[in-house]
Structure 1
Amino acid sequence: MPYVISGDGTKIYYEVIGRGEPLVLVQGFSWDLTAWHFQWELGYRFRLVLIDNRGVGLSDKPSGPYSLDSMADDAYAVVSELGFRSIHLLGFSMGGMIAQDFVLRHGDVVKSLILSSTMPHLEITPELRQFTEMAIKLYDNFNMFTGALQVAFSEGWISGNEQVFHELTRLFFNRRMPKEAYVAQLEAMGADLTPRLSEIQVPTTIIHGEADRLIPIENGRKLFNGIPNSRFVVFPDAGHAVYIERPSEYNEQVIRHIELVNSGRFSEHVKREERVTYT
């Protein structure tokens, strides 16, 4: 199985699917690379690189603290191992924060950026800490886990896809990370990248679901306002896990982003907000 040893000795698992230009996918808080199942079809166009962040999946699960820097360096270790000099980088939720940090630390290899359902900073409020403490106490309770996962999807999608949601919940529950790693990943998101957004100069598409209950769409607008060379794509009625709720339309937007970048037409769409229409 493909592993790379990161700078601090952490073993990071990754998978490569398809051929073509490299597209590196960085997953969100507490989820492993199996959550990219609906994006595998992109392997017909790109060489997909899927990474298990430290703490989840088949990667090492060291005790905390974790940091965005360390997780960005983990991803960079994978990119270096594969010998890539130019990549498109996609980050979802916490993975979007890791992707922002990656560009700030290793921007020489990033051709373009896609930030999905993410933010420049997660405020660790007393309420969030209280919820986390409760979640840890009930960490092995499937009903509690199901309730927490519901927030990652829009209510409309859950009601129309009850069986899929149940199967996803069971999959994520069976592959849940250790409690200590759960806390370490959460606290890493307390970093604040807001003051450095203007330093991100690569073509950036920001994707956000309008019905995101976990990371409200205002967070995507902060990125859009702060990153100079960016466009904003809104998915009406979609929740946090927009790439699962609307996989076909989401994958089309990924392809469109890369086509705009590669054709030199991305600049025509900078500082434009677009809304996705569903067929």
Structure 2
Amino acid sequence: MDVYPAFYRNTNQSGILDGAKLAYEILSADKLGLPGIVPLALVNGLNSLGQDFQRLSESLAKSRPVLIFDNRGIGNSTYSVSAKSDEVTIESMARDLLALLSGLGWSKLAILGFSMGGTIVQQLLLLPYHPSHPTPLPFQVTHVILAGTMAAPLTEFRYRLQFAAPKSGLSLEEKKEVIRDNVEHFFTPAWVQDVRNAERLQWWLNRMVVGRPFEATRKQLRATGKFSLGDLHRHIPKDIPVLTIHGRIDDIVPFPAGEDVHRRIPHARRVEVGLEPGQIPHNQFGHMWWEYFDIGAWRDVLDKFLEDNSLKEKARL
């Protein structure tokens, strides 16, 4: 079980502590406040924990502070009450994220949302325009990265993961075999069959059998099938640069879902394919995009995007 050095106790809309504690960690916290350095928050996908980003977050932390955290009720984060009866929706997770970021007191930050986390980030950006409970953001979002994500419920697309209540009495190795098919769908068949990736695949199998209660996963899965962001994307300011990352052979959130994000956010730009720093060799990759190519290539992509202030000037034109 991962141990985080800090918890943030969430509040509800009335400012009253609701009892939930969000576990988080800030990598390279000593870089906070340095001139020109904007921290980056990483927002998890379905059934995911903050430490799942380890390979990516540790690389990105060479350049800036990086926030990782566990969503409510999963990993080291808690529900608000011992009965674990909290409702979990895309909006509630976005408001949890808002509470965490507000509590950290950052005036500016960039956000990367992966899979379900990308939907949470979109909802966060749209909270000021919420039809019944508009909520301003007390910080400036400087850049947004939406990776392997969607703007409409997953039920509208092909979705390969299958979840069922675990059988009792299984050994650790038996549990790994039960989830193997799900884990392998995070990647392409070629990636799974490549012996050079055997150690990484085992790392994922080892991680996925701990810290992910079935009920929490079920609530998140239900949330991804019932949300609606309406037509509010038009309110996302054009001077917030948006980068999208989506593998063309993503077996979890299909590529057309990413194209739908572009339709809703016309000023978003796609990660570039090429051989220059800040580009990737190709876009034929699966859901766990940062497991493809050298991790330094992804750090270059994100650092270049986060440091290119000309993107804001272009967006204003």
The normalised TM-score by structure 2 is 0.76
- Work out whether residues 161 and 252 of structure 2, in 8 Å CA contact, stay in contact via their aligned partners in 1: no
Q: 2:71 corresponds to which letter in structure 1?
A: N
- Work out whether residues 39 and 109 of structure 2, in 8 Å CA contact, stay in contact via their aligned partners in 1: yes
Q: 1:186 corresponds to which letter in structure 2?
A: L
The answer to whether the aligner puts 1:200 opposite 2:248 as a matched pair is no
- Work out whether residues 9 and 21 of structure 2, in 8 Å CA contact, stay in contact via their aligned partners in 1: yes
Q: Which residue of 1 aligns with 2:149?
A: 118
Q: Which residue of 1 aligns with 2:203?
A: 167
- CA distance in 1 between partners of 2:161 and 2:268 (Å): 35
The answer to whether the aligner puts 1:250 opposite 2:298 as a matched pair is yes
Q: Which residue of 2 aligns with 1:49?
A: 67
- Work out whether residues 55 and 182 of structure 1, in 8 Å CA contact, stay in contact via their aligned partners in 2: no
Aligned length: 265
- Distance apart, 1:180 and its partner CA: 1.0
Identify if the C-alpha distance between structure 1 residues 164 and 199 changes in structure 2 by more than 3 Å, giving closer, same or farther. Answer: same
Structure 2 matches for 1:59-208, cutoff 5 A? 59-61=77-79, 62-105=84-127, 106-107=136-137, 109=139, 110-124=141-155, 131-132=162-163, 135-136=164-165, 141-160=175-194, 161-175=197-211, 177-190=212-225, 191-193=227-229, 195-201=231-237, 202-208=240-246
User: Which consecutive aligned stretches of 4+ in structure 1 deviate over 4 angstroms post-superposition?
Assistant: 127-130, 137-140, 266-270
Q: Which residue of 2 aligns with 1:273?
A: none
- Work out whether residues 3 and 12 of structure 1, in 8 Å CA contact, stay in contact via their aligned partners in 2: yes
Alpha-carbon displacement from aligned partner over 1:117-175 (angstroms, at most 9, x marks no partner): 000122337x969944xx33559632221111111111121122122102211122133
- CA distance in 2 between partners of 1:64 and 1:41 (Å): 34
5+ unaligned residues in a row in structure 1: which ranges?
Answer: 271-279
Structure 2 matches for 1:4-15, cutoff 5 A? 4-7=8-11, 8-15=18-25
- Work out whether residues 6 and 73 of structure 1, in 8 Å CA contact, stay in contact via their aligned partners in 2: no
- Work out whether residues 153 and 245 of structure 1, in 8 Å CA contact, stay in contact via their aligned partners in 2: no
5+ unaligned residues in a row in structure 2: which ranges?
Answer: 12-17, 32-36, 128-135, 273-281
Q: Which residue of 2 aligns with 1:218?
A: 256
- Work out whether residues 54 and 60 of structure 1, in 8 Å CA contact, stay in contact via their aligned partners in 2: yes
- CA distance in 2 between partners of 1:248 and 1:71 (Å): 30
Identify if the C-alpha distance between structure 1 residues 251 and 194 changes in structure 2 by more than 3 Å, giving closer, same or farther. Answer: farther
- Distance apart, 1:197 and its partner CA: 2.0
- CA distance in 2 between partners of 1:63 and 1:111 (Å): 35
Where 1:12 maps in the other structure, the secondary structure is strand
- Work out whether residues 63 and 181 of structure 1, in 8 Å CA contact, stay in contact via their aligned partners in 2: no
Where 1:210 maps in the other structure, the secondary structure is coil
- Work out whether residues 42 and 113 of structure 2, in 8 Å CA contact, stay in contact via their aligned partners in 1: yes
Identity %: 26
Worse-matched range after superposition: 113-122 or 65-74: 65-74
Q: 1:182 corresponds to which letter in structure 2?
A: T
